[in-house]
Amino acid sequence: MGEGSIIQSVEKQIYHIGGKKVMIDSDLAKLYGIETYQLTRQVRRNIGRFPNDFMFQLTKEEYLTCQIGSSKKGGRRYLPYVFTQEGVAMLSSVLNSKRAIDVNIAIMRAFVRLREIYILNKDVAYKLSEIERKVDKHDENIKIIFEIIHRLMEPKPEKPKPRIGFHP
């Protein structure tokens, strides 16, 4: 599997939850080639490295809304943890293996690519709104031009011609 396809695979596992881009603990565990409990155990052993803006546990409402991930036994026994980009980067120091380092590099590249896509889309949206404003203004101007042309095309009411000759 090439690096490009790994990055695309990772991008599909990045979710928007609570206004943040995050990855689910079970998805990360699969990428690292370990069980989810092993990942969470390492995180708990190094909990000081994972403040709330690096990692947080989903609420029941968030989990039910997302419906992401489930254990082999048909459901999770606990609500999943999610990791922001910074939290995923911190995982590389907790999960010290060659695979963890390679996976983290791919994940970081995926996050950066998504950020670039977002910025590009934001720029395109801005430019489109500018074009729409200009077109709206052009539409108004074109309407005015057509109204003037129609007025010019209308026959002018003829003034009564003065009678020729002597008038008493």
pLDDT tens digits along 36-74: 888 989 899 999 989 999 999 988 888 877 655 444 445
Q: Cβ contacts of residue 56 below 8 Å, gap of 6+? A: 18, 81, 82
For residue 15, the cross-strand partners are: 22
- Please provide the CATH number assigned to the domain covering 3-119: 3.10.260
| pLDDT at residue 71, rounded to an integer | 45
> Using an 8 Å Cβ cutoff, are 14 and 83 in contact?
no
Other CB atoms closer than 10 Å to residue 121's CB: what's the count?
A: 10
Query: Where is mean pLDDT largest: 52-56, 112-116, 161-165?
Result: 52-56
| Average pLDDT of every residue of the chain | 78
The yes-or-no verdict on residue 119 having pLDDT over 70 is yes
pTM of the model: 0.58
Cβ-count burial 93-107 (b if 16+ within 10 Å, e if not): eebeeeebeebbebb
* More confident: 3 or 15: 15
Q: Is the pLDDT of residue 131 over 60?
A: yes
Top pLDDT among 124 and 34 is at 34
Q: Name the token pair of 45.
A: 């052993």
pLDDT above 70 covers a percentage of the chain that reads 87
| Inter-residue contact 28 to 54 (CB < 8 Å) | no
